[in-house]
Amino acid sequence: MSAPETPTPPARSPWVSPGRLAGTGLFLLAVVVLILWLAPAGGYDLQLVDPAHAVAPLVHVKGERPARDGGAIYFVDVRERPARLIERILPWTRADGSSLVPSPGISSSVERRLGELQMADSQKIAPYVALKLLGYRVSARIGGVTVLVIEHGTPAAKVLRPNDVILVADGHPVKTIVDLHAALAHKRPGDRVTLRFRREGKVREATLATVADPKDPKRPIIGISPLDDLEVRLPIPITIDAGGVGGPSAGLAFALDILQELGRNVAHGRKVAATGELALDGRVEPIGGVKQKTLGARRAHVDVFLVPAGDNANDARRYADGLRIIPVENLQQALRKLATLGPKA
């Protein structure tokens, strides 16, 4: 009896070799990564660190005579762009020091315009406060705070309408946007606030709940974008080129630099970074993006960082890594604290 024939194995296709399978897998992986990189995260932005910038090149004061001790004032900013899908899914793909935050409930063009308007207010308030402190005669005409945009889905959307003029918040007169922010500063998201506002010539009152700022969960907002009607008159020309930066948080830095350029020794030989929204009476109000701004100050290798007192200063200390954080409540206090540091060794 002959031995059974051994069946011949089927020929292996060159298209399913281990090398080709691995190559196909890598190609598909690359395609997936590319799609995740190009696709938007949808409803999320990325806040990025921007190194602190010197203020002096942006501020021009007629008759300036800056103190020549080597010191300088710096402002800090937060760059922001829509997040990519891969950055939402894989945190390690995000830029160092960045934060993923929900996008505001308004279009990017409206948000950009509001940032420009807030910066315009800072450019008016900072010279007013600085010159007043130096004894110059200055004046301001305040028309009130008008509701420009209301974010959908917020409690304010059920109460307020565009063009309403907010007059009072929890018993505090509201003459500027900074006044409105100050009335909310000591609240927590979910707390209620009573607003008195004017609509078509009639004064009304309503109580509504605050909500968390999408970009700073600790910060309460009422879900509106307000517009100031503010005009200041100055005895000497001062111009500030914002350089495309938006928002209100450079107010303190602008005022400090104006004082420095008019001969007051503010920095005392140090590189001083500062952030804070400045009110007409010199108060320094809280701002957002403290993490990125602290890291930006560190990257510029400044000596000290002035930050609004309270939660802002506490958050800044978390990311300071040796940078000296100085909490301040108003411009005068900022000047006193810088003076007590003495000249840089």
Residue 297's pLDDT is 96
Residue 16's pLDDT is 59
Other CB atoms within a 10 A radius of the CB of residue 151 amount to 17
The residues spanned by each domain of the chain are 48-83+107-136+236-341, 140-229
pLDDT along the chain (345 residues), means of 10: 60 62 72 70 86 91 73 90 87 89 70 72 89 93 82 85 89 85 86 91 90 80 81 90 77 94 90 93 90 96 96 95 96 95 68
8 Å CB contact between 257 and 278 = no
* Range 48-83+107-136+236-341 classified under CATH 3.30.450.20: no
Residue 308's pLDDT is 96
Residue 218 phi, psi (nearest 5): -80, -15
Residue spans of beta strands (DSSP E) within 187-270: 192-199, 202-209, 211-213, 216-221, 224-233, 238-240
- Specify the residue for token string 């946007």: 177
8 Å CB contact between 78 and 48 = yes
* pTM score, whole prediction: 0.78
- CATH architecture type of domain 140-229: Roll (2.30)
Residue 211's pLDDT is 87
